[in-house]
Amino acid sequence: MQTRQSPPRLNSGFSKGTETDGLMADINTTPLVDVMLVLLIIFIVTAPLISQGINLNLPKAEAPAVKPQNEPVVLEINAQGGVFYKTELLSEERLDSLLAGLKTSNEEAVIQIRADKQTTYEAIVRVMSKATQNGLTKLALITEPPVPVQRR
């Protein structure tokens, strides 16, 4: 009488190939969990560093129009740096006297600056600096709303 022998087991690399060991069919998730915990710790440590920066009040082009309580004073600056109030071209002295008069007549005066796209940054900052030197701190820049892109 012949006895039947079981076929030899193949070594899958997960076991030593002995007959008492079975094949390992589960995925080992321990390295995955270790990597995820290390990444979590790295992100927790670096997240506060990423959010640090300079605090700026940036303009929002799509914001609704502001309704000022007082009638704002609109100063317009052309591309050459000339400053206009209503339709009058202001000299440096006239601009200083206008801003000083606004401060004395109205503590809460709002200055809106409307500048040409080609105006230099220096010209805009000069007008803003003169306003703050005269005690006027409520300044606003007037922009045009973006043109919506029409999709076909």
Q: Where are the domains of the chain?
A: 73-141
Is the full-model pTM beyond 0.85? no
Residue pLDDT, tens place only, 14-61: 555 555 566 767 888 899 999 999 999 998 888 777 665 555 455 566
3-class DSSP state of 26:
coil
Burial (CB count <10 Å: 0-12, 13-18, 19+), residue 72? middle
pLDDT exceeds cutoff 80 at 126: yes
Cα 35–chain centre separation: 31
Q: What dotted CATH number matches 73-141? A: 3.30.420.270
Compute the mean pLDDT over every residue in the chain, rounded to the nearest whole number.
78
- Is residue 81 within 8 A of residue 130, CB to CB? The reply is no
